[in-house]
Structure 1
């Protein structure tokens, strides 16, 4: 490797690390906000505020899905760095609303952050792949994922320490919490300003006669794979909404936990994040053995989530997520246990890591040359079904929500298997050079 090539590789690594740090700060603020906002809204001593945290998150993901169409045209024009900076400002504006909440600003910024999310994630996918190649996509995705999931730790730790022993959230508690989250979000937004322009390495080009049949096969595979990937992501999106907003609210509403219930929301978020991080590290080690494939990891994620859903069904009141109850009226099948609740949080994070690392990995392999459209469509499917889940989560009993996730989680896993089988078929038809690059990414995301 020449000195120039080494400098380019180092700059790309620098960009990936700074990208991850920026997302770490922004999503420390936003993930913590999403985890506690329904609890905060319920505790507001404000007769004029009529907003719902579930409805806000539903609006965010609904607008997110539609705004992905806009993101496809905006990101190439503005560039990924400026797009992410602008999106970070919108995220910070949403956090700031909770300092002095009003219904109109709450829902208005929900619309704005939905637009910002579409721009942010499309630009992120574009920028990450711009700084990767077939030999570094797994490593770079792993670095970014690990830094992103650390966002689950710090904000939720602050929730636990700040709300420990409190049954109600006072105005002062809320203001202090969201000022801290706002500062964190602003720091993440500013970090995008120190990203460097992505260096372009010289691309290897196949001879024309060799490339034509290869391109044809690859395009056919993409058409087959796209529908199956999006079907899988649709099913996993319901689990995203449950992990990121509904489960924490259920824990906070479970009166069996006593005065610690509100503080346990923070601990639950930390444990979910720990499961995400452990999952990423575990896959990085295990998948060095070529006997393990992406399908094995996704199957593990399905089993882990099903175990978590069953324990939640047994130990959490069935009406815990219902918004018009100030406290649950139903009695669970077994007495709620802090240990079981935190175990479920860990399993939810571990399972989510299984799904997302492998989806990012397979997208990075298939759509290396079409990153912006691929990630925009990917997020479109994710967000539209997450929005639907957030809108019904406040009105549907927990047992029915869990049943829907079990059925669709199984379907999504089967769809992922279809994609992996198609990729294996494609790899066999490629030349040794081309199939090697995609086969390498079958190992999933390594750290």
Structure 2
């Protein structure tokens, strides 16, 4: 029977925290333009770029905050910034305040960096070496179930209105209430010093570090060849979201967009469970699992992106031109919206499902690989921050590259015809970056992963420990 002090219990609670917060956020962002009408996609994309830039640098230094203040404070405050962000889009429906959206985007960038760094430290640092795939799959499944359920909120509200162009006020309010619950659910997570593995050992030796020492540890990651080799994979891990979510936003009715997003995250649940079990297959050594894992991931990515490129020649992200008043000028040759009730939906349905599968495997392998390099949540917090830093550098550049691909200035948004050829340009960039990430991960998988991890000791001791206060908490 699981106890509150068990690492698995803590990861399950963490999964439900992320179910309520980034899970709901993903359901809204995955449906395109954060629930706004596609004509206003530039609002969502500019906000997303802003929070991604702040998120990147917040993540880089969030490991320092994690090791000084612990995870509960970071998760609670980080979660509430998501509530503020969604609230700004609800307000935009009524007062069109970009100032509110800019402020909330900056706050979210800070808070998301704190939340995801704390999450990564727990998920990579708490499991035993042979259970890291299992822990990832459990967390990822619960977390993405939030996105699945979250997408059925607008599906249910809009199903009888296939002409609806954006999320309703009721959908935004529902998201915000769930996010508040998730933020305070974080208080059920115990300090790391109270978590014990099956053999009775603590998940980590508690270390106390000064901010200066922590910052030095962060910058030392840029000298670690393993982190540098994994930088392309981290960089690409959210890049393709811009392409995939824009494809969803510009090609489907609002109820179908939400359904697609639900399918995308549901696929991630199945993929994370199966791939996690594969990476924890005890009949193989850990070095063998690392190598087989990246080979399987490569094969799946090749198949999925071949399908994506073929689909791009048929559909691909397409938008519309607007006149000076913002009224859409539809071109029958280039503009149409696919609904889930039509035969044209069959191919995109399966493609979007396997986009979700490949995303779960890509990110799951990245987390598993980083987790194989340490068993210490203190070090894992730094690794998680570095991963999120690189990931969000990619996230904030991707929309600008995509907007350049359609031949317009970034501030003009997506409101222009988006041809198949230019959509193919974006898809090819995604393919190149994804496989550059795989190339970088190969030497880490084949050389850096050992059968057992031996963490380096920081030998950082606080004044309290020197005075004999051994029970001091992080």
Establish whether TM, by shorter chain, passes 0.5: yes
- Which stretch shows the higher mean deviation, 60-69 or 386-395? 386-395
Structure 2 residue 126 is matched with structure 1 residue 134 = no
TM-aligned CA distance change 1:195 to 1:99, over 3 Å: same
Q: Say whether residues 1:242 and 2:231 are aligned partners.
A: no
Give the deviation of 1:204 after TM superposition: 10
2:395 counterpart of 1:386: yes
Show the counterpart of 1:3.
Answer: none
Structure 1 stretches (4+) deviating beyond 6 angstroms? 6-9, 321-326
| Gap change, CA 1:306 and 1:96, over 3 Å in 2 | same
CA contact (8 A) 2:307 2:351 kept: yes
In terms of mean alpha carbon deviation, does 322-331 or 88-97 score higher?
A: 322-331
Residue 384 of structure 2 corresponds to 375
Residue pair 1:98, 1:175 contacting (<8 A) in 2 also: no
The structure with the greater share of residues assigned to helix is 1
**Is the CA contact 2:272–2:364 (under 8 Å) kept in the aligned structure 1?**
yes
Q: CA deviation at 1:185?
A: 0.9
Q: CA deviation at 1:68?
A: 2.0
How much is the aligned-residue C-alpha RMSD, in angstroms? 3.1
When residues 330 and 55 of structure 1 are mapped into structure 2, their CA distance, relative to the original with a 3 A threshold, is farther
Give the C-alpha shift of residue 79 in structure 1.
1.2
Q: Does residue 98 in structure 1 map to residue 89 in structure 2?
A: yes
Q: 1:310 to 1:98 in 2, by over 3 A?
A: same
Show the counterpart of 1:20: 15
Deviates more, 1:137-146 or 1:31-40: 31-40
1:157–1:267 Cα contact (<8 Å) kept: yes
* 3-state SS of 2:91 partner: coil
CA shift digits 1:154-189 (9 cap, x unpaired):
111222222225355478x62111011111111111
1:410 aligns with 2:435: yes
Give 2:170's match in structure 1, choosing from 145, 155, 176.
Answer: 176
- Residues 69-78 or 396-405, more deviating: 69-78
Go from structure 1 to structure 2 and tell me whether the alpha carbon gap of 1:312 and 1:132 turns closer, same or farther (over 3 Å shift). same
The SS at the match of 1:366 is coil
Per-residue displacement from partner, 1:35-80 (whole Å, max 9, x unpaired)?
A: 2452743368xxxx99611111111111111222331332222211
TM-score (norm 2): 0.75
In the alignment, which residue of structure 2 is the partner of 1:431?
none
Q: 1:346 to 1:322 in 2, by over 3 A?
A: farther
CA contact (8 A) 1:249 1:321 kept: no
Aligned length: 394
Question: Is residue 116 of structure 1 aligned with residue 128 of structure 2?
Answer: no
Which structure 2 segments of 5+ residues have no match? Answer: 196-200, 206-219, 407-421, 455-474
Q: Note the 1:392-403 alignment, pairs <5 A.
A: 392-394=401-403, 396=406, 397-403=422-428
Matches within 5 A, 1:53-92: 53-92=44-83
Secondary structure in 2 matching 1:367: coil
Partners of 2:38 and 2:224 lie apart in 1 by 49
Q: Which runs of 5+ in 1 are unaligned?
A: 1-5, 206-218, 253-260, 428-434, 439-447
User: 1:266 pairs with 243, 253, 258, which one?
Assistant: 258
